[in-house]
C-alpha cells in the first residue's frame, strides 16, 4: 500500500514537472518572437525530460520490489 501511495505522489510530481517545463517554454504571455526560435527545439526536449523521469520512476519501482517487501502492507 505504501508503494502505491508513493507511486501516486511521484506521478503527480512528474506531471507537475512537465507542466512547469511546458509553461516555462510555451507561456503565451512571453515574447512570441523570442520563443519562436526555441519552439521547435524546446518541445522535444521537454518531452524527453518527461520520458527520462518516467523511466527513472519505473526503474526505482522495480529495484524497490527486488530489495524486499519489508514494512509494506
The whole-chain average pLDDT of the chain stands at 67
* Higher pLDDT pick, 4 / 28: 4
> In angstroms, rounded to a whole number, what is the distance separating the alpha carbons of residues 55 and 32?
33
Q: Smallest Cα–Cα separation from 39: which of 22, 53, 15? A: 22
Q: What is the pLDDT of residue 43?
A: 62
For the chain, the structural domain boundaries read 2-67
Q: Cβ(61)–Cβ(3) under 8 Å?
A: yes
pLDDT at site 42: 57
Q: How far is CA 41 from the centre of its chain?
A: 18
CB-facing half-sphere around the CA of 22: CA atoms within 13 A? 8
Q: How far apart are the first and last CA of the chain?
A: 6
The per-residue pLDDT for range 5-19, each reduced to its tens digit, is 787 778 777 777 776
Amino acid at each position: 500500500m505504501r508503494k502505491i501511495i508513493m507511486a501516486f505522489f511521484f506521478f503527480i510530481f512528474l506531471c507537475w514537472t512537465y507542466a512547469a517545463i511546458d509553461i516555462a517554454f510555451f507561456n503565451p504571455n512571453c515574447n512570441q518572437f523570442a520563443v519562436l526560435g526555441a519552439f521547435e527545439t524546446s518541445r522535444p526536449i521537454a518531452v524527453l525530460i518527461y520520458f527520462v523521469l518516467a523511466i527513472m520512476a519505473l526503474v526505482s519501482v522495480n529495484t524497490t520490489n527486488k530489495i524486499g517487501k519489508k514494512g509494506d502492507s
